[in-house]
Structure 1
Amino acid sequence: MKLQSLVLVAAVFTMTTAFAIPAGTWSVAAGAHMVDPKSDNGTLADGTLAVKVDDDIRPTISGEYFIANNVGVELLAAIPFHHDFDLNSADGTQVLTGSTQHLPPTLSVQYHFDNYSMPMNIKPFIGVGVNYTTFFKERISSGGDLDLDDSVGVAGHVGFDIPFAPTEAFRIDARYMDIKTDATLDGSDIGEIDISPWVYGVAFVKQF
């Protein structure tokens, strides 16, 4: 009976750890993400102009290295995102328009859950890290010289992988990024734009 019990415990242990991602594993995820800015993006020019930033979708790629079982360090990169924005008066009338491009590389530490019996063998994960966003090609319809400062902020990450092969999976994820930038027009500070988006994406994931 003792031998049978040990065999049963060993079998259960093997089953519950079979899907752990071992330390030393690399994974690459290629897909697309939508940057969806928050609805209230702040005001400029002493509060006289409300800012509205639109969303955008671009291809993305990330690499993750597992420093321990199920614990990875991930770097997210993307083709530059493009955002148009409106500057509206208090009554909602459009006063000015503009646009900018940005790159938001994000470094995160992530934990991938296993030991759970979920439909389709889904493997959820969570992460937290830091986002660095650099802006360029800023334009405004008034023809002035608009400059947006780079931003550094906290980033959160949640998602799940749906494996369809031992080293391949389909990923659905969402990130929150704290992105705020100080705006300068013709050398004068005109306020802060708060983008702070949710970023939704899908990707193909390959482990090595």
Structure 2
Amino acid sequence: MKLQSLVLATATALTMTTAFAVPAGSWTVAAGAHYVDPKSDNGNVTIGTTNYTVDVDGDVRPTISGEYFIANNVGVELLAAIPFHHDFTLTDANGGEITGRTQHLPPTLSLQYHFDGYNLPMNVKPFVGVGVNYTTFFKEKLNNDLGLELKLDDSVGVAGHIGLDIPFAPTESLRIDARYMDIKTDATVVDGTGVNYELGEIDISPWVYGVAFVKQF
């Protein structure tokens, strides 16, 4: 429902006519930091005959994005970051745990609409966007004595974006934003003989909260 609301808001915005502050052909660059907050209940996996619930921790890292305006107030944005690090815990029915960690990169491409002409307090400029997220996992590790190696498949999913730009100079702003990313990955372990065992799907699907400095060119 949260993602559907973001998509609906984007579709509505793209049909509205307002005065514009960001003309077609402009660029913006935003540099800041984002916190990836995975959803609760990240799924279940099975190792051998034992079922485990999955819990994935959050992480914060520096990010950078660039946006090109293809029309007045309508931009295409690409978000990039240095690798996020996540610890996770697998817990069985008896309270036994296996811990692990992974890194991932979540580049996200979005089509965005920036509202203007509403004379909001502090000249705030809201925006909404929708796009696609590609997440690649690497350096996966299970902390276990079973000789098992973990592999997580890459993920492709829908992403939503909403935020505010707060201007403090003609071409400079402070941005506060939130993104929803549909991130699901199939987990596999490889034993000491090289045999693969499919564990199941891990559903991370985080909200991503951030702040950034934005410069318009």
Q: Matched residues in 2 for 1:59 and 1:36: separation?
A: 15
Q: Matched residues in 2 for 1:119 and 1:165: separation?
A: 15
**Residues 46-55 or 154-163, more deviating:** 46-55
CA RMSD of superposed structures (Å): 1.2
Aligned to 2:215: 206
Counterparts in 2 of 1:94 and 1:167: CA distance versus 1, 3 Å: farther
Aligned to 1:118: 120
Q: Is the 8 Å Cα contact of residues 76 and 107 (structure 1) preserved in structure 2?
A: yes
Q: Matched residues in 2 for 1:188 and 1:70: separation?
A: 49
Deviations 1:33-61 (A, max 9, x none): 00000011000007810000000000000
Which is higher, the Rg of structure 1 or of structure 2?
1
Residue 167 of structure 2 corresponds to residue 170 of structure 1: no
Q: Report runs of 4+ in structure 1 exceeding 6 Å deviation.
A: none
Structure 2 residues without counterparts, runs of 5 or longer:
1-17, 191-195
How big is the shift at 1:94?
A: 4.0
Aligned to 2:199: 190
Q: Matched residues in 1 for 2:96 and 2:205: separation?
A: 22
Deviations 1:63-117 (A, max 9, x none): 00000000000000000000000000125x2420000000000000000000111
Aligned to 1:102: 104
Deviations 1:118-151 (A, max 9, x none): 1111000000000000000000012411000000
Aligned to 2:193: none
Aligned residues: 191
- Pairing partner for 1:65 from 65, 68, 81: 68
Q: Is the 8 Å Cα contact of residues 155 and 177 (structure 1) preserved in structure 2?
A: yes
Q: Is the 8 Å Cα contact of residues 163 and 170 (structure 1) preserved in structure 2?
A: yes
Q: Matched residues in 2 for 1:119 and 1:79: separation?
A: 34
Instruction: Give the percent of matched residue pairs that are identical in Structure 1 and Structure 2.
Output: 75
Q: Matched residues in 2 for 1:95 and 1:163: separation?
A: 48
Q: Is the 8 Å Cα contact of residues 86 and 94 (structure 1) preserved in structure 2?
A: no
Aligned to 1:22: 23
Structure 1 residues without counterparts, runs of 5 or longer:
1-15
